[in-house]
Structure 1
Amino acid sequence: MSICFLSLETSKVFNQLILKHIEEVGYEGISMSSLLIFPYLQKSDKQSISTLAKELNQSRQATHKSIKKLKELDYIKLVQEKNKKEINISLTKKGNALLEEANSFIEKLQSQLTKIVGKKELEQFIENQNIIFDYLNSKLD
């Protein structure tokens, strides 16, 4: 399996496991595409739909559709700053709770993976993934 395909499949499985877990603990209405939004909102308290769409490598329309659904489910709120056209997205209390639950689950998965491959090996894998990501990302410039 190529590194590209393996990375894609690994990411997909991680996201499926996270989605399954948050559904099991009672968070409803989250799709795979809307799940991908949460880490970006965690990174920045307020973000515009345009910026988020660029980071997700999605069209503004596709991002807006996910944002609309997350707002209806009370995971996010939209805030229009005074004298500015752009509307910013921010997590609600429910959205922050979902993110905390997902992060806790991710930590448990990482702990389980540490037991399987070893702490040093997992740390090296993460470091290598960061190096690969930075290198590939630099090719986009």
Structure 2
Amino acid sequence: MFGLLIADDDLESRKQIADLFIEAGYHVTVTNSVANALYGVLKKTAQVVLISSQFDELTAVDLIPLLKHCDRDLTIILIGSEESLPSIRKARKEGIFYHALKPVRPDDGEEIRLAVKCAYERLIARKHALAYG
């Protein structure tokens, strides 16, 4: 099973998103630390990362290249609603899979749920293609 890492400074947001995926049966790890996020990626416990735009004193745009350097196949979904268009463009250039709006209410998680589902489907297809060439 693939791992999902939620990296967000906001405790309430982290909990809300984690609950959404735990209820759906995903293997979820949460953190508010860059060190723990990098550790999860390096140890291959996370193949999909949901990262907020501001995280542990860094912007996501600054952290994304580090995460991708640790695992170039990592799927990163940026979550936030306050990014400028130049920041979003830079994040896309750095290799994010998707940019989703941060859920405000408990029933706002559909966009993120679909993005993660699509990311996992892509990982499974890639793994299948490598195995059966």
Structure with the higher helix share, 1 or 2: 1
Q: TM-score range by the shorter chain?
A: under 0.3
Q: Could you tell me the TM-score, scaled by structure 1's length?
A: 0.24
Larger Rg: 1
The higher-RCO structure (CA 8 Å, 6+ apart) is: 2
Q: Could you tell me the TM-score, scaled by structure 2's length?
A: 0.25
Structure with the higher strand share, 1 or 2: 2
